[in-house]
Structure 1
Amino acid sequence: MSKRLRSSEVCADCSGPDPSWASVNRGILICDECCSVHRSLGRHISQVRHLKHTPWPPTLLQMVETLYNNGANSIWEHSLLDPASIMSGRRKANPQDKVHPNKAEFIRAKYQMLAFVHRLPCRDDDSVTAKDLSKQLHSSVRTGNLETCLRLLSLGAQANFFHPEKGNTPLHVAAKAGQILQAELLAVYGADPGTQDSSGKTPIDYARQGGHRELAERLVEVQYELTDRLAFYLCGRRPDHLNGQHFIIPQMADSSLDLSELAKAAKKKLQSLSNHLFEELAMDVYDEVDRRETDAVWLATQNHSTLVTETTAVPFLPVNPEYSSTRNQGRQKLARFNAHEFATLVIDILSDAKRRQQGNPGTVSKDNVELILKAIGSQPSVESQDNDQPDYDSVASDEDPDLDTVTSKASRQKSLDSDLSDGPVPIQEFMDVKNALVASEAKIQQLMKASKLEKQNSVPESDYDNTTPDSELDDTGSSRKTRQRSVIWPGEGAIPELGDPHSMSSSTLPSTEDVIRKTEQITKNIQELLRAAQENKHDSYIPCSERIHVAVTEMAALFPKKPKSDMVRTSLRLLTSSAYRLQSECKKTLPGETSCPTDIQLVTQQVIQCAYDIAKAAKQLVTITTKENNH
């Protein structure tokens, strides 16, 4: 469901006009720039959704609108509304402020530090205060006053509080009263629709008994929100809960890929996790799905004619201080999984969630989540990096040869099919067009920034270490069944090795300036292709791909036919084979090649994926030549 913005709506954080994002758990609307800061804080601080380009359950959107229209923002800016705050020098951000540090510092103070919320009188026993607040919440949810309940939740009331005298939770009360928006708010703050009261009944039971059909159906959806979101991420469908279908388990099109001993060991470890650890892993993967999907919407909705420098994609899950360091490290490693690896993990989680719900818990082991993340990675290089570098960095590095190795092996990846009862149906490879667009655009923007700075001779070598990692972006690799040809080496077949095997290898690399100039041309052509994809101008694909092909050929010609560096060879191979594959995919848009809109959508997915691979390879070559020539 989309929302038509009214001119009276302004960003809750800087008062900028026409906010296009919402922070669901804060009950506010925010602009693009402020949203970029919210995302960097993590979902435990702010859960953001785009108002138009993200699917909304209607009542969830209605809840956010109600909170926003009834002044929920005053909860988070309570002390700023006091005239004395102006005298103290404290003020909120304005639209003209820079994102960093001005807006970012204000938003962190407002939501992370809760610097402006109303403070309760100090008491010695905090648990009693929390209990009192929870009891107030318990009685308040039977009314329609959402902002009162949000205020109580912001002060520490517990959404899953079990009232000792009443024998139930706030969600039971809201369900009995038919308060669907209160139920939405409680669910956002973690209320469990499956919790039983002292009579053994759930909130869903009470909603049904009271004749609140819409509320009952929505509570069932909330109960399966995690697995529904994972399934939708892979195959674009949700289970039909009304007809008793609560799980969709997508399958790999080629099951032989899952028969390796490593994959079997990973699945066994997953199944042996205790329910608690399994739930933690599932929630972490849910957060990673949210990060990847929101990145897609984020960059797809930016103005691609301008260079975004201050507001960028989130490269990996932000640290949650409530989690252990091991868990935070594991969560950040999820960003390094390419699409095939991540899809494998998601499918295994969906399968095991279904198995556990059906009452087959399996054997409990002390294995922790970190073991699962290592095993599922299915690449020895992912594990080997643990021996010589930190598990995660405050700033992720592009100079990770292990990750280059991982991303260069994408040719093994296959598409997915759903195993729904109506037979296997072709789906977009792991993500929709916009998810691929985020990958392309993020790399392109980094390329442009790096190129322009390099041309001004103002970039020290270390600046290239501050870009987001290649592995942050999903490398679906797509099906490589199509025969591929290099644009340098004639002949078709598998991806060729570079140069004549009998020729001498060369360590001579072109000048950084030449590589950057050719990269800029590739970037410009890719941006043109991305705009055509966004605007559904499919007849522009072929001419765009031809211009990209020419630019790639010119760039590849700068390098020796047999480079000595493995990284150069890998990047050149990815560059040239992707350019050829891009042309092949674009030809599918010719009349008669596609039979329905779904086919065009699938082609567009592949086209943008090829563009991403080209941009990534060009970026790698810029980085390599810059480092080598500076030594």
Structure 2
Amino acid sequence: MAKRLRSSEVCADCSAPDPCWASINRGILICDECCSVHRSLGRHISQVRHLKHTPWPPTLLQMVETLYNNGANSIWEHSLLDPASVMSGRRKAGPQDKVHPNKAEFIRAKYQMLAFVHRLPCREDDSVTAKDLSKQLHSSVRTGNLETCLRLLSLGAQANFFHPEKGNTPLHVAAKAGQTLQAELLAVYGADPGTQDSNGKTPVDYARQGGHHELAERLVEIQYELTDRLAFYLCGRKPEHKNGQHFVIPQMADSSLDLSELAKAAKKKLQSLSNHLFEELAMDVYDEVDRRETDAVWLATQNHSTLVTETTVVPFLPVNPEYSSTRNQGRQKLARFNAHEFATLVIDILSDAKRRQQGNPLSGSKENVELILKSISNQHSSESQDNDQPDYDSVASDEDTDLETNTAKSNRQKSLDSDLSDGPVTAQEYMQVKNALVASEVKIQQLMKVNINLSDELRIMQKKASKLEKQSSVSEGDYDNPTTPLELEETGSGRKGRQRSIIWQGEGSIPEDTDTAPSSSLPSTEDVIRKTEQITKNIQELLRAAQENKHDSYIPCSERIHVAVTEMAALFPKKPKSELVRTSLRLLTSSAYRLQSECKKTLPVESCPGTDIQLVTQQVIQCAYDIAKAAKQLVTITTKENNN
């Protein structure tokens, strides 16, 4: 785990004290509020990682710390350091500025538009300039001057540049010189440790040849970073590269569910992709894993006493204008996969990556990646598409890359999606079971403290207000039929005619009560808080059982949680008028159902040696987390509405 940097550090964007996030590719430290903006820009702009709650390769953390301490931020704020910029009225954001629009506009200008970086004199042939910069980078990486290399990369130098005279790349030079931090920086900017020079040698070969064995091992890790992270996301394990093991392929606990015709067809299409398209899909899934893991850390580390905040999670991958519209749409669809669907896709990618590396090719195909995503996402859900409403972030056409337009549309869509994404919470915060459960329990305890504090404050308010009429049953409610993540994501966009694919309590789908008029009344905040406390108490019991490996306690705990969830849902009208209330209730009840389903998978563990109990536990934690998040959302909504 990362060691904390000096307490005197300040946010590179707004100068707030004690920043707890890092932007790896920018070489800076940032605060919570600025981090929320960085995340909304996408990994192609800023790669964020928490300093404490995310595992770090030691040399990667050392690289970021070195860049920060040596003034890397001045690269991105070059013109702001000019006294003339003060005269022109340009200034950086301050700690007291609002996130929107002040900090957000500054951060977008700084990193997306590169408005303040040093500009080279205009030349007619930009390719010549890029070549010159790359040659400078090639010679600079043999030294320890990281900020010089970052400056060259920021100006357009290519990390994978193949020097025509020298016959190698900057990474070959850094590896031969034993410059570990330079190798880390080059890798962040896309340098490939497997590239061969004119003599057929890779950077790994030169590191070993020079006696830099730790660097050689780290370069091998970087080479397999994508598949390593996908495997770790699912099962908390990484392969032993030292022993020649380069892949870990997790197994699903309920492998029988993977035999559907749609799953087989999707896997076949995946295998028939060209290497180029397969690599694109794998990189997109990697980005989605990063989004989900960072969401987990983000939600776990926020101050839950602030129920209404300007900062939110990122509901799906932001648009990358360098990608085609089809690819951007496919990337955003990944957020709609539930835990099982996404795990299936990840395992298929890991299996096929191993097959491809071992040289077992299949006939190539120009099959679109979009069809693969659609096939997998349809394993558990059938949908009727209403094209009048947008599902996702606005995606640029292949010809249109107007960043300002896309950013504005992106923000509007995010305001609709809010904090209601249904992605799994796994890996670095939750996949190593012991640490995961401790972190989850701390988060639940924080929520309970918030509920208690709110309850005390609101009792005084409730004495002066009449209690709203409570509904005693939800057996026919609009939210009684849990939905798949596909349906969950679409409720805010006016989707109609969804066919239920998951049945509440296994008794069949109950039709909506069309005779009941939508109701805008909400229960008292005090009642919602009391039921939330009951839910979180039961979740704590489940997490303790998981921490102590008492798998036989999963089912009774899940049943108690289900009862508590049903009682909380009963507080609300059968057909709430608020779209946000309906969506939160769907997340609450569908997560409770999924929790019961996941807990039942522990029954055959002894008789079925192929069951991965760690993967089951991860899914159980995910469902419990989603229930707690939905309950918190309902507390937030009722508090806000009842106070208006």
| TM-score after normalising by structure 1 | 0.74
CA shift digits 1:462-495 (9 cap, x unpaired):
9999999966999999999999999999999999
Cα pair distance change 1:96/1:429, threshold 3 Å:
closer
- Structure 1 residues 145 and 444, CA, compared in 2 at 3 Å: closer, same or farther? same
User: Following the alignment from structure 2 to structure 1, what is the Cα–Cα distance between the partners of residues 31 and 284?
Assistant: 27
- Partners of 2:489 and 2:217 lie apart in 1 by 34
**Deviation for aligned residue 1:611:** 3.6
Contact 1:168–1:197, Cα closer than 8 Å, also in 2: yes
- Give secondary structure in 2 for the equivalent of 1:22: strand
Q: Flag the 1:203–1:359 CA change in 2: closer, same or farther, 3 A.
A: same
The answer on whether the counterparts of 1:271 and 1:352 sit within 8 Å (CA) in structure 2 is: yes
In the TM superposition, residue 292 of structure 1 has moved relative to its aligned partner by 0.3
Segment of structure 1 superposing worse, 218-227 or 418-427 = 418-427
Identity %: 90
In structure 1, how many angstroms separate the alpha carbons of the residues matched to 2:471 and 2:294? 33
Conserved in 2, the CA contact under 8 Å of 1:295 and 1:438?
no
Mapping of 1:130-529 within 5 angstroms?
Answer: 130-379=130-379, 381=381, 384-385=384-385, 389-390=389-390, 392-394=392-394, 431=431
Q: Structure 1 pair 462/602, CA: closer, same or farther in 2 (3 Å)? A: closer
Segment of structure 1 superposing worse, 62-71 or 482-491: 482-491
**Distance across 2 between alignment mates of 1:399 and 1:453:** 54
Contact 2:234 2:343 in 1 (8 A): yes
Cα distance, 1:57 vs structure 2: 0.8
Q: Retained in 1: the 8 A contact 2:480–2:589?
A: no
Higher mean Cα deviation, 295-304 or 338-347?
295-304
CA distance in 1, matches of 2:316, 2:423: 36
State the shift of 1:433 in Å: 6.8
User: How far apart are the structure 2 equivalents of 1:194 and 1:283?
Assistant: 17
Offset of residue 126 of structure 1: 0.4
Q: What SS class does the counterpart of residue 390 from structure 2 fall into?
A: coil
Aligned residue for 1:415, secondary structure, equals: helix
Contact 1:455 1:513 in 2 (8 A): no
Q: Could you tell me how far 1:130 is from its partner in structure 2?
A: 0.3
Q: Is the 8 A contact 1:461 1:626 kept in 2?
A: no
Paired residues of 1:130 and 1:157 also in contact (CA < 8 A)? yes
Give the direction of change, closer, same or farther, for the CA distance of 1:589–1:12 in structure 2 (3 Å limit): farther
Greater Cα shift, 226-235 or 469-478: 469-478
Superposed, which structure 2 residues align to 1:468-617 within 5 Å? 552-557=565-570, 608-612=621-625, 614=627
Alignment CA distance shift 1:30-1:382 (3 Å): farther
Q: Matched residue of 1:465: which SS?
A: coil
C-alpha distance 587-138 of structure 1, shift in aligned 2 (>3 A): closer
Distance 1:94 1:228, change over 3 A: same
Q: 1:309 to 1:368 in 2, by over 3 A?
A: same
Q: Following TM superposition, by how much is the alpha carbon of 1:627 offset from its aligned partner in structure 2, in angstroms?
A: 17
Distance 1:424 1:106 in 2: 32
Match of 1:33 in 2: 33
Q: Kindly tell me: are residues 410 and 85 of structure 1, through their superposed partners in 2, closer, same or farther at Cα, counting changes over 3 Å?
A: closer
SS at match of 2:590: helix
Secondary structure, counterpart of 1:384 in structure 2: coil
Moved more, 551-560 or 9-18: 551-560
For residues 225-273 of structure 1, what are the alpha-carbon distances to aligned partners after superposition, in whole Å with 9 as ceiling and x for unaligned? Answer: 1101101101101110010000011121232222111111101100110
Give the stretch that moved more between structures: 535-544 or 23-32.
535-544
> Following TM superposition, by how much is the alpha carbon of 1:323 offset from its aligned partner in structure 2, in angstroms?
0.3
Report the alpha carbon displacement of residue 302 of structure 1 after superposing the two structures with TM: 1.2
- The 3 A distance-change label for structure 1 pair 69 and 365 is same
For 1:459 and 1:106, the matched residues in 2 are separated by 47
The C-alpha deviation readout for 1:314-354, integer Å capped at 9, x for no partner, is 10000000000000000000000001000000000001111
- 8 A Cα contact 1:416 1:426, kept in partner: no
Contact 2:9 2:19 in 1 (8 A): yes
- From the superposition, tell whether residues 572 and 335 of structure 1 become closer, same or farther in structure 2 (CA, over 3 Å): closer
Segment drifting more, 158-167 vs 606-615? 606-615
Alpha-carbon distance between aligned partners in 1 of 2:345 and 2:357, rounded to the nearest angstrom: 18
Q: Alpha carbons of 1:170 and 1:488: their partners in 2 closer, same or farther (altered >3 Å)?
A: closer
Alpha-carbon spacing, 1:607–1:530, altered in 2? closer, same or farther (3 Å): same
Deviations 1:287-323 (A, max 9, x none): 0000000111111111222225111111000000000
Contact persistence 1:317–1:331 (CA under 8 A): yes
Give the 3 Å change call, closer, same or farther, for CA 45–625 of structure 1 in structure 2: closer
In structure 2, what is the Cα distance between the partners aligned to 1:154 and 1:450?
59
Secondary structure (helix, strand or coil) at the match of 2:639 reads: helix
What is the alpha-carbon distance in structure 1 between the residues aligned to residue 69 and residue 409 of structure 2? 51
Deviation (angstroms), 1:7: 2.2
Contact 2:565 2:589 in 1 (8 A): yes
Deviation at 1:358, TM superposition (A): 0.8
Instruction: After TM superposition, give the deviation of residue 102 of structure 1 in Å.
Output: 0.7
SS at match of 2:604: coil
| Cα distance between partner residues in 2 of 1:531 and 1:548 | 14
Kindly tell me the number of residue pairs found equivalent between the two proteins: 628
| 3-state SS, counterpart of residue 29 of structure 1 | strand
- Once the two structures are superposed, what CA deviation does each residue of 1:418-441 show, in whole Å capped at 9, x if it has no partner? 999999999999946799999999
Cα pair distance change 1:110/1:472, threshold 3 Å:
farther
Q: Deviations over 1:158-199 (max 9, x none)?
A: 000011111111111111111111111000000001111111
- The answer to whether the 8 A contact 1:142-1:173 is kept is yes
**Does structure 1 conserve the Cα–Cα contact (< 8 Å) formed by 2:381 and 2:501?**
no
> In 2, are the aligned partners of 1:252 and 1:416 still within 8 Å (CA)?
no
Cα distance in structure 2, aligned partners of 1:408 and 1:105 = 11
1:410-465 superposed Cα distances (whole Å, 9 cap, x missing partner): 99999999999999999999946799999999999999999999999999999999
Gaps of 5+ in 2: 449-463
Compare 515-524 and 1-10 and name the one that shifted more: 515-524
Would you say the 8 A contact 1:10–1:16 is kept in 2?
A: yes
> Per the alignment, do residues 479 and 337 of structure 1 end up closer, same or farther by CA in structure 2, a change over 3 Å counting?
same
SS at match of 1:385: coil
Unpaired segments ≥5 residues, structure 1: none
Answer whether contact 1:24 1:49 (CA < 8 A) is retained: yes
SS at 2:22's partner residue? Answer: strand
Q: Contact 1:413–1:476 (CA<8 Å) still a contact in 2?
A: no
- The secondary structure found in structure 2 opposite 1:453 is coil
- Tell me whether 564-573 or 397-406 shows the greater mean CA deviation: 397-406
The answer to whether the 8 Å contact 1:12/1:28 transfers is yes
CA deviations 1:108-138 (Å, max 9, x no partner) are: 1110000000000000100000000000001
CA distance in 1, matches of 2:32, 2:495: 37
The 1:33/1:442 distance shift into structure 2, 3 A limit, reads: farther
Q: For the Cα contact (< 8 Å) 1:408–1:570, is it kept in 2?
A: no
Q: Is the 8 A contact 1:396 1:465 kept in 2?
A: no
Following the alignment from structure 1 to structure 2, what is the Cα–Cα distance between the partners of residues 94 and 406?
Answer: 26
Whole-angstrom distance in 2 between the partners of 1:524 and 1:541 = 14
Structure 1 SS opposite 2:534: helix
* Conserved? CA contact 2:471–2:574, under 8 Å: no
Change (3 A) 1:592 1:312: same
* SS in structure 2 of the partner of residue 533 of structure 1: helix
Distance 1:473 1:628 in 2: 22
* CA distance in structure 2 between the partners assigned to 1:395 and 1:451 by the alignment: 47
Contact in 1 for aligned 2:42/2:320 (Cα 8 Å): yes
Equivalents in 2 of 1:415, 1:84: separation in Å?
37
Note if contact 2:293-2:429 (Cα within 8 Å) is conserved in structure 1: no
Q: Is the 8 A contact 2:42 2:317 kept in 1?
A: yes
CA 1:394/1:527 → structure 2, altered by over 3 Å: closer, same or farther? Answer: farther
Distance 1:475 1:5, change over 3 A: farther
Alpha-carbon contact 1:298-1:438 (below 8 Å) kept: no
Deviations 1:194-220 (A, max 9, x none): 111111111111111111111111111
Distance 1:427 1:416, change over 3 A: farther
User: Higher mean Cα deviation, 104-113 or 609-618?
Assistant: 609-618
Per-residue CA distance 1:5-63 (angstroms, 9 max, x = gap): 31221111111111111110001111111111111100000001111111111111111
Give the stretch that moved more between structures: 261-270 or 572-581: 572-581
CA-atom RMSD, angstroms?
Answer: 10.0
Per mean C-alpha deviation after superposition, the further-off stretch among 328-337 and 388-397 is 388-397
Out of 127-136 and 457-466, give the one that drifted further.
457-466
